[in-house]
Amino acid sequence: MVYTGSMDRSIKRVWNPPNPYLSAHRQFLEDEPPPETRVEVYEDHSQSILSRNDSPDLSFRWSVNPYRGCAHACIYCYARPTHEYLGLGAGTDFETKLVVKPQAPELLRRAFLRRSWKGELVVFSGVTDCYQPLEAGWRLTRGCLEVCAEFRNPVGIITKSALVQRDIDVLQRLHREASVSVHVSIPFLDERVARLVESGAPSIARRFETVQALAAAGIPVGVGVSPLIPGLNDADIPGILRRAKACGATQAFLTLLRLPGSVREVFLHRLQERLPMRAGRVEGRLRWTRDGELSDSRFGHRHSGSGIYWETIEQMWEVWTQRLGFNRGCDPDVPSTFVRPPVAARPRRSPRRKEPMQQQTFSWGNVA
């Protein structure tokens, strides 16, 4: 089923990089303006909702993604190539042809009822933002969180959206009876830059307000400076951390920008289009952290860099996180780039099983 709507704040023009999985790609001529876009919402009736992660760069195995595509339209989003598997584009299509999984809560319930399920940590979302604007109406993330609360299953959340405040009641229940932590992604301090790079996401001010509201409600909350874009937001690190600490955040993580597949074309194209005076500097400094390349797909190298420039960023990160008291109680052997937030001290049981659940730890990778 397909729905059309007008969620965009402004009219957009279609632009997608070539899809490597399609044999045909249309390139608009310079004198032929691309068509205007409208948001289209598609239903996905897949029969599973838990996604298994096998990457050694992340210490959690399971994630839930109620949506595919994302109206936040972040130009750096590493998940853009996943839209190409659907025969769509990684550019405008990713932001305007959105997919919902209406059966997500029921599918999660079925998964938890299986005897093979051991109550492991579930992360929302491993791909796109589980609190993007569609969630206000569809309420699929809330439905899934209610299932997690019923089964007392540990949860981790990362989002840019203030909408997570709507579900504070469920998060409080999870905090009491299982474990939960929320990380709010705040890569920038400059509202103007953020609006150009994350055009559909809430303002930076609203995100800090969200951190404060969650902390006031007793929810363990952190901040993600992710991605770190050399030459664009590295100087924002101290200000972001100071402001987050003042709002009640206790955890923080940092990841270096990744540009896998078609993300490279989207990022460079829009960076040049929206921030032309900074585009060259950003590309050059990113290459300094990647041994001359723009990305590194090797396990263990995807989320961090190398060289003097990256070492300087890491040193600044360590100084400010330690000075402000972030990440206390986390595994000291895990680099700060891959923070593992502490979990609830008391093991819990699901309604079905008698054995105590194992405590869960996880690390945020490069998430948008």
Cis amide leading into 262 (omega within 30): no
Please classify residue 164 by burial: count the beta carbons closer than 10 Å to its beta carbon, then call 0-12 exposed, 13-18 middle and 19+ buried: buried
Q: Is 165 within a domain?
A: yes
Q: Is 92 within a domain?
A: yes
Residues of the domain holding 172: 2-338
Please classify residue 196 by burial: count the beta carbons closer than 10 Å to its beta carbon, then call 0-12 exposed, 13-18 middle and 19+ buried: middle
* Eight-state DSSP code of residue 15: -
Q: What is the CATH number of the domain that holds 87?
A: 3.20.20.70
Q: Is 108 within a domain?
A: yes
Q: Which two tokens stand for residue 329?
A: 């109680």
Cα–Cα distance, 49 to 147 (Å, whole number): 13
Q: Is 19 within a domain?
A: yes
Which amino acid belongs to residue 56?
P
Task: Show pLDDT as tens, one digit a residue, over the chain (368 residues).
Answer: 444 443 333 334 545 556 554 444 444 444 445 555 688 999 998 888 998 877 656 666 889 999 999 999 999 999 999 999 888 999 999 999 999 999 999 999 999 999 999 999 999 987 899 999 999 999 999 999 999 999 999 999 999 999 999 999 999 999 999 999 999 999 999 999 999 999 999 999 999 999 999 999 999 999 999 999 999 999 999 999 999 999 999 999 999 999 999 999 999 999 999 999 999 999 999 999 999 988 877 766 667 889 999 999 999 999 999 999 999 876 554 544 444 444 443 334 455 443 433 434 333 343 33
Q: Sign of dihedral through CA atoms 335, 294, 71, 162?
A: positive
Which amino acid belongs to residue 93?
D
At 304 the pLDDT is 80
To the nearest 10°, report the CA torsion of 366, 202, 8, 40: 50
Q: How distant is the alpha carbon of residue 108 from its chain centre? A: 20
Q: Which two tokens stand for residue 228?
A: 């770190």
What is the pTM (predicted TM-score) of this model? 0.83
Q: Is 346 within a domain?
A: no
Q: Is 51 within a domain?
A: yes
- If one counts every other C-beta atom within 10 angstroms of the C-beta of residue 40, the result is 15
Number of folded domains in the chain?
1
Q: Is 167 within a domain?
A: yes
To the nearest 10°, report the CA torsion of 54, 59, 61, 63: -110
Which residues contact residue 91 at a Cβ distance below 8 angstroms, ignoring those fewer than 6 apart? 14, 15, 16, 17, 80, 262, 265, 266, 269
SS3 26: coil
> Which uninterrupted H or E stretch holds 180?
strand 180-185
At 366 the pLDDT is 36
User: CB of 336 within 8 A of CB of 317?
Assistant: yes
Q: Is 181 within a domain?
A: yes
Picking from 141, 234, 126, 138, the residue whose alpha carbon sits closest to that of residue 187 is 234
